[in-house]
Amino acid sequence: MHHIKELGYPLSTYTIGFKQKTFDETKNAASVAKHFNTLHHSKYIETSILDELESCLDSFDEPFADPSALPTWLLCQYATNKITVALSGDGVDELFAGYSRYRARNLSEYLSPLPKWLKIKLLGYFINNLPESTSYYGKSTIKKLKLLHAFIRKIEESPEDPLAQTFTLTERQRLFDYSLVETYRFNYIEKYNLNKVDPITAMMSTDQLTYLPEDILTKIDRMSMRHGLEVRSPFLDHRVIDFICRLPIEYKLRGNIQKFLLRKCYTDKLPRRVLTGQKHGFSVPIGDWFKSILKHPFQSTVFDHSHLMLNRNEILQLWKEHQTGRKDHSFKLWTIYTFCRWEINQPL
């Protein structure tokens, strides 16, 4: 934004907000827009979004399970009232170690000397029995603890799989017939020849080769082009990628400082609260929605139809735990919902 303003071009910025405060970023977006003196546009998502949700999911022609597709859909729809080309920051987290899980990998190294019974079973017993709200995970200490414990358990269970997965290997085996879950397909360390790099670089490389093109870029491509909006991602210029991928990990994650080099580059160009702030994912309150506007659609889609590949009892257990507030299974339920919705709409 700084460079565009220097060139003398008028700049419009857009953001989508939520009434649920832990998910909302409109205040931070407005402060950055004010700093750069942009023509800022902000819009709140209403609770009556079921029609928009259906249109959004239908645009993929596949069971696409990233819930941030919905706010992306609404953001692109909103922006096309005024513009036809937009810039996006996609790719920056995968290149500069921006995701919290990279920092969690560092922390897991400190805990690695602890015996497995202590860090997996005993800690898990206390952490997993804590009640869990449907607030944004980045603003909840309990959720952070649960995510960290799940991450450590995943490393122990599937060290050859550095990709962030909604379901662990064991959970996938319970959800599907065991014979359908071929473990070798999740050995990304061997697949991408990452045996000789550090664990965080292995995670980032796997994200760059899978999560970025198959989720992030697929999402923005489908959602933007559906509304006639062209989105360009300057961080994915091949010259930027070539340069960043040659740098040591310390230039990306230094201690607990993520996107280290990027923060240094923009020290005198961004507000301090932005430079020192934590990443806030583009998340939606689907945990709340599964208890309200999505409760009936989920039940009718998942439980009122026969899904041969899925274990109904396993889904029912997840559903009950979520409805009672014992656990927040938002992403797992959303994944199941999008798959079942896609499956029942397939021609025989």
Of the pLDDT bands very low, low, confident and very high (cuts 50, 70, 90), residue 10 is confident
Q: What is the pLDDT of residues 217-242, one digit of tens each?
A: 999 999 999 999 999 999 999 999 99
* pLDDT surpasses 80 at 302: yes
Residue 336: the pLDDT is: 96
Residue 32: the pLDDT is: 81
Residue 312: the pLDDT is: 93
Of the pLDDT bands very low, low, confident and very high (cuts 50, 70, 90), residue 88 is very high
Rounded distance between C-alpha atoms, residue 218 and residue 81, angstroms: 23
Of the pLDDT bands very low, low, confident and very high (cuts 50, 70, 90), residue 7 is low
* pLDDT surpasses 70 at 8: no
In this structure, the strands spanning 39-44 and 85-87 are: unpaired
The correct CATH number of 2-97+210-276 out of 3.40.1190.20, 3.30.450.20, 3.40.50.620, 1.10.3720.10 is 3.40.50.620
Which residue would you say has higher pLDDT here, 42 or 58?
Answer: 58
> Domain map of the chain by residue range?
2-97+210-276, 100-204, 286-344
Residue 326: the pLDDT is: 84
Least confident of 174-178, 190-194, 317-321: 174-178
Read off the pLDDT of each residue in 155-175 and give the average, rounded to a whole number: 89
Read off the pLDDT of each residue in 290-302 and give the average, rounded to a whole number: 94
Residue 271: the pLDDT is: 78
Read off the pLDDT of each residue in 31-55 and give the average, rounded to a whole number: 81
* pLDDT surpasses 60 at 121: yes
Rounded distance between C-alpha atoms, residue 108 and residue 289, angstroms: 33
Residue 270: the pLDDT is: 79
In this structure, the strands spanning 257-258 and 253-254 are: antiparallel
CB 96 within 8 A of CB 245: no
- Return the top range by mean pLDDT from 27-31, 235-239, 280-284: 235-239
Which residue would you say has higher pLDDT here, 89 or 25?
Answer: 89
Angle made by CA atoms 338, 340, 344, in degrees to the nearest 5 = 120
* pLDDT surpasses 90 at 180: no
Question: Which residues, including other chains, have CB under 8 Å from residue 48's CB and lie 6 or more apart?
Answer: 293
